[in-house]
Amino acid sequence: EVQLVESGGGLVQPGGSLRLSCAASGFTFSDYWMHWVRQVPGKGLVWVSRINPDGSSTTHADSVKGRFTISRDNAKNTLYLQMNSLRVEDTAVYYCTRDSSGYFNYWGQGTLVTVSS
């Protein structure tokens, strides 16, 4: 069974940093593109970042480019999102997702990031 378990969310002040993790199991992690998608509480879904199977290629949404970095450790079956220079508008639930027959077939339970002073 495919499982994605996010962790690392919490309360951080504007300008601060946080690193999210997503532990994957139930599939060969190194075979798949992985993404982060976020959702402001009560609002819609927004794609944030993606990474290719071997980690050599990454893409970020314009809203986080230069501040967020997606990475992965295939030996640990773990996806990461390093978030720097956090802003109030980055407050959201962050989901780890995996592709299969197209985008976002599997989702984690999400981890809440709150940016507030």
Angle CA 50–111–100, to nearest 5: 40
Q: Is 41 in the site for other proteins (CB under 8 A)?
A: no
Assess contact for 18 and 113: CB atoms under 8 A. yes
Q: Is 33 in the site for other proteins (CB under 8 A)?
A: no
Residue from 59, 76, 88, 116 binding other proteins (CB under 8 A): 59
Q: What is the DSSP string of 11-80?
A: EE-TT--EEEEEEEESS-GGGS-EEEEEE-TTS-EEEEEEE-TTSS-EEE-TTTTTTEEEEEETTTTEEE
Residue from 33, 45, 55, 82 binding other proteins (CB under 8 A): 45
Cβ closest to other proteins, residue 23 vs residue 46? 46
Residue from 33, 47, 53, 91 binding other proteins (CB under 8 A): 47
Instruction: Report which residue type is found at 81.
Output: L
The footprint of other proteins on this chain (CB under 8 A) covers a number of residues equal to 16
Stretch 76-105 residues interacting with other proteins (CB under 8 A)? 95, 101-105
Q: Is 8 in the site for other proteins (CB under 8 A)?
A: no
